[in-house]
């Protein structure tokens, strides 16, 4: 369809800013005529191959991150409860989402993404085992036998190997170093650009020639 701005959204549900980025994309999807493709990646591999370090490995930066989370809750209207143990290994969730994305409808994929984000940032649910993941995704709107098939495939070694290799390529060829990241193709001229971080939507709007209407996409002004 002409006039559609294409977005490739790279995310890991371990990242609170990926959650914010996802919510913001959905709020601006129709307003900016976005065609969103969701690409789950493993943030740990991205960090490893790029030489980046998690914020919590720097004492002051870790303190800042959790304080910033409190502001983000009010500013974006997103639930970001601090998990008891952090960081969390979301490998099984990410391989599940990756396997699901390859075969399920967009509505089911979005339901699964929201369910997995909520498991981490609403409910602090464990996600270390297959049983944990099964419990998280049990209520997805899809055939149970198909769900089992996707779970089986996502737990295999090739699914993890694929995630590692894709992360290496994204770092070396696309310049990724953290989450969330956005690869956008502008409809007006086909030009592509990369963006990092959940706080770059005002910049994206200027680049797309669209109106930025605040964090709720309705010109309302949140109070901090």
Tell me the backbone φ, ψ of residue 36, rounded to 5 degrees.
-95, 130
The whole-angstrom separation of Cα 19 and Cα 179 is 10
Under 8 Å between Cβ of 127 and 133: yes
Beta partners for 222?
none
**Active site (annotated) includes residue 154:** no
- The conformation of residue 51, written as its DSSP 8-state character, comes to T
Under 8 Å between Cβ of 69 and 82: yes
Catalytic residue among 15, 18, 181, 198: 15
- The conformation of residue 148, written as its DSSP 8-state character, comes to H
Task: Output the six-digit token pair for 138.
Answer: 């049990």
Residues serving a catalytic function are 15
């Amino acid at each position: 369809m002409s006039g559609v701005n294409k977005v490739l959204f790279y995310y890991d549900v371990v990242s609170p800013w990926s959650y914010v980025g996802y919510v913001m994309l959905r709020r601006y999807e129709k307003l900016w005529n976005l065609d969103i493709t969701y690409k789950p990646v493993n943030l740990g591999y991205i960090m490893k191959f790029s030489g980046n370090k998690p914020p919590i490995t720097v004492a002051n930066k870790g303190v800042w991150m959790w304080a910033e989370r409190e502001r983000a809750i009010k500013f974006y209207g997103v639930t970001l409860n601090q998990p008891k143990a952090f960081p969390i290994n979301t490998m099984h969730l990410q391989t599940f989402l990756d396997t699901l994305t390859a075969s399920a409808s967009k509505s089911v994929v979005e339901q699964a993404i929201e369910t997995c984000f909520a498991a981490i940032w609403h409910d602090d649910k464990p996600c270390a085992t297959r049983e944990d993941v099964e419990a998280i995704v049990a209520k997805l709107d899809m055939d149970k036998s198909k769900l089992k098939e996707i779970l089986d495939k996502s737990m295999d070694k090739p699914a993890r190997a694929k995630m590692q290799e894709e992360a290496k390529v994204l770092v070396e060829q696309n310049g990724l170093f953290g989450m969330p990241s956005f690869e956008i193709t502008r409809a007006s001229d086909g030009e592509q650009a990369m963006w990092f971080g959940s706080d770059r939507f005002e910049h994206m709007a200027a680049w797309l020639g669209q109106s930025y209407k605040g964090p709720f996409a309705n010109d309302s002004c949140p109070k901090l």
